Amino acid sequence: MRRAGAARAREGPPRATVRRARVRPWPQTFRDRAAVRPAEAASIEQGVRLRAIFLLLVGMILAIAATDVLTGAVGLLRETASRPLTEAEKARYVQEDIAGRWHTWPATLVFPSELEYIGLGRVQLYARRVGIAPETACRSGTDAAVGSVLEEHGCRTLLRATYVDQTSTFAVTVGVAVMEDAERRQAAAGDLSNDDRVGVRPVAFRGTATELFGAAQRQRNAWVGVGPYIVFSTAGYTDGRTRQAVAPEEIPHSELWPTAQAVAGRIAHALGDEPAVPRCTQGNVC
């Protein structure tokens, strides 16, 4: 027993067990994250550069567009701003106004209900409009020799109305041939016959003093040109007297033809009268 105790005494106290610390490895996800950080940084930097380039391009496009809009606005303001009309613009204004009257004016303005004329003894008298005929083709409303010339030169339409003098002794039919323009009208006028037996065909209205006024009753025919219009006139007696019935030695009534000329002349004058031209592009204030 003693030996056993002595042996344990010599051996001494028991040694403490020494444990080595174990080094824990970094998680795999942390290592992966650390590895991709440079790539993410590079990608972000590239994205920033691309975004900057995109914004620069958008800014340039917007700047160009804004410049174009501003330039257009300035040009539009200059174009629409009131300014004095040029001589060419004034002439075109007059030409267009006159050329459009045959359809912009009402028929009662083209052919007024009353027209003044001067009778014997310089007395002021009035011719009265009996009726307005429907619009017709130039060839059908004139004699063949006249209609063919009008049609050849591009006559657009024919307007007609019939008047009587203040005593209802004379009938006068006025015809307005509408040409394309003044140049066409001049060309057509140069080809018209000087024969006073042909011209516009009369228009008679039943139940009026003109109901006996036909082609055979015409005593004379004439025309006058103004703007794009050729204004024809024909006159005769309302009692049905024909041209052949008037003996060569008998002179038609001295008021007949002056009345017809006055009526047609006033209609032509109104159609060709120059309008008041505005001084500026937007009225009379520049």
pLDDT digit string (tens) for 168-179? 999 999 999 999
| Residue 151 located in a structural domain | yes
Q: Which tokens is 282 given? A: 């937007």
How many beta carbons lie within 10 A of that of residue 265, not counting itself?
18
Do 76 and 107 lie in a common domain?
no
Closest of 209, 267, 269 to residue 233, by C-alpha: 267
Do 46 and 134 lie in a common domain?
no
Do 217 and 258 lie in a common domain?
yes
Cα separation, 197 vs 218, whole angstroms = 8
Domain boundary residue, one of 83, 102, 117: 83
Do 98 and 65 lie in a common domain?
no
Residue 28 has pLDDT above 60, yes or no: no
Q: In sequence order, what are the beta bridge partners of 242?
A: none
| Residue 175 located in a structural domain | yes
Based on C-alpha coordinates, what's the Rg of the chain? 51
Domain boundary residue, one of 83, 116, 142: 83
Q: In sequence order, what are the beta bridge partners of 222?
A: 233
Do 132 and 239 lie in a common domain?
yes
pTM: 0.71
Do 148 and 59 lie in a common domain?
no
User: Mind spelling out the 3-state secondary structure of the chain?
Assistant: CHHHHHHHHHHCCCCCCCCCCCCCCCCHHHHHHHHHHHHHHHHHHHHHHHHHHHHHHHHHHHHHHHHHHHHHHHHHHHHHCCCECCHHHHHHHHHHHHHCHHHHCCHHHHCCCEEEEECHHHCEEEEEEEEECCCECCCCCECHHHHHHHHHCCCCEEEEEEEECCCCCEEEEEEEEECCCHHHHHHHHHHCCCCCCCCECCCCCCCCCCCCCCHHHEEEEEEEEECCEEEEEEEEECCCCCCCCCCCCCCCCCCHHHHHHHHHHHHHHHHHCCCCCCCECCECCC
Do 143 and 170 lie in a common domain?
yes
Cα separation, 234 vs 237, whole angstroms = 11
Do 159 and 244 lie in a common domain?
yes
Residue 16 has pLDDT above 70, yes or no: no
| Residue 236 located in a structural domain | yes
| Residue 28 located in a structural domain | no
**What tens digit of pLDDT does each residue of 168-216 get?**
999 999 999 999 999 999 999 999 989 999 999 999 999 999 999 999 9
Do 63 and 195 lie in a common domain?
no
Number of domains in the chain: 2
Structural domain harbouring 75: 33-83
Do 182 and 199 lie in a common domain?
yes
| Residue 241 located in a structural domain | yes
Do 59 and 133 lie in a common domain?
no
pLDDT for 2? 47
Q: Give the mean pLDDT of the chain.
A: 86
Cα separation, 44 vs 50, whole angstroms = 10
Domain boundary residue, one of 42, 62, 83: 83
**What tens digit of pLDDT does each residue of 133-163 get?**
999 999 999 999 999 999 999 999 999 999 9
Q: Which tokens is 52 given? A: 């900057």
| Residue 48 located in a structural domain | yes
| Residue 210 located in a structural domain | yes
Do 110 and 41 lie in a common domain?
no
| Residue 101 located in a structural domain | yes
Of all residues in the chain, the percent with pLDDT exceeding 70 is: 83
Residue 47 has pLDDT above 80, yes or no: no
Q: Which tokens is 160 given? A: 């007609």
Q: Residues 6 or more apart from 157 whose CB is under 8 A from it?
A: 102, 135, 136, 137, 138, 177, 178
